[in-house]
Amino acid sequence: MLKINNLHASIDGKEILKGLNLEVKAGEVHAIMGPNGAGKSTLANILAGREEYEITEGSVDFDGTDLLEMATEDRAREGLFLAFQYPVEIPGVSNVNFLRTALNEIKEYRGEPQISAKDFMALVKEKSAIVELDAKLASRSVNEGFSGGEKKRNEIFQMAMLDPKLAILDETDSGLDIDALRIVANGVNKLKSDKNATIVITHYQRLLDYIVPDFVHVLYNGQIVKSGPKELALELEEKGYDWIKAEFAQ
């Protein structure tokens, strides 16, 4: 589904990704861990199509197409979804209108008919229940006045509504108490299928008690320097990142 080959990327002339390789197949959950500043959010942003980065080398293939050549909104239409590390508030735009517009864009792109108001509301009810999001929040402005935990749950609600092929969750666990963490993780687990894939970016191991990854990767200094089974996350939790830094410091 996703093949990243030797990706190099800079911002303001500073190289952040320095030859990153990653392959994700349908049905898989990959966790990307790494110290602050390693480039995790940069990778997520580049995949989603944020424009301020300069790609200097490498390629990204998404389901047989050159992802880096695609416009941001086409990536979304093709089924790429990013849950933000810091969800933004959009005053004046209701959550439901936002999602109905997004959903209908995807349907139009696939040549499917627009969703009826009745079917849409039924979908909202079903999917908000997955993340135990209060139905009232669905009709409020996007994230406006939501608590930190509600914002993160709203990201997963959006993901559930849009049913992406590839979901990237950028530190969706940060700032969550243990109950919200479990709710978010359960939501992700319920949405898992053999047709979609998830990349979970996290700084801490505890999320991976609930979302069990098929592979764990360590991103350090702009590269994936280590990959392994889920036990690698436990090793990182126990030993921290210093041994990685010591091993890979140039």
- For Mg ion, the binding residues (CB under 5 A) are 36, 40-41
Of 41 and 196, CB closest to Mg ion:
41
DSSP letter assigned to residue 13: T
Q: Does 12 bind ligand ADP (CB under 6 A)?
A: yes
* Partner whose footprint covers residue 205, from Mg ion, ligand ADP, none (CB < 5 to 8 Å by kind): none
Buried b (16+ CB within 10 A) or exposed e, 206-229: ebbebbebebbbbbbbbbbbbeee
Q: Exposed, middle or buried, 247 (CB in 10 Å: 0-12/13-18/19+)?
A: exposed
Size of the site for ligand ADP (CB under 6 A): 12
Q: Does 37 bind ligand ADP (CB under 6 A)?
A: yes
Of 53 and 120, CB closest to ligand ADP:
53
Q: Does 42 bind ligand ADP (CB under 6 A)?
A: yes
- Taking Cα atoms as reference points, which of 161, 163, 173, 164 lies closest to residue 32? 173
Query: Given the rule CB under 6 A, which of 11-19, 70-78, 147-155, 227-235 is the region that contacts ligand ADP?
Result: 11-19
Q: Are 60 and 22 in contact (CB under 8 A)?
A: no
Q: Does 34 bind ligand ADP (CB under 6 A)?
A: yes
DSSP string, 214-234: SEEEEEETTEEEEEE-THHHH
Q: Does 16 bind ligand ADP (CB under 6 A)?
A: yes
Q: Does 36 bind ligand ADP (CB under 6 A)?
A: yes
For residue 119 the two structure tokens come to 């079917």
Query: Which positions lie near ligand ADP, rule CB under 6 A?
Result: 11-12, 14, 16, 34, 36-42
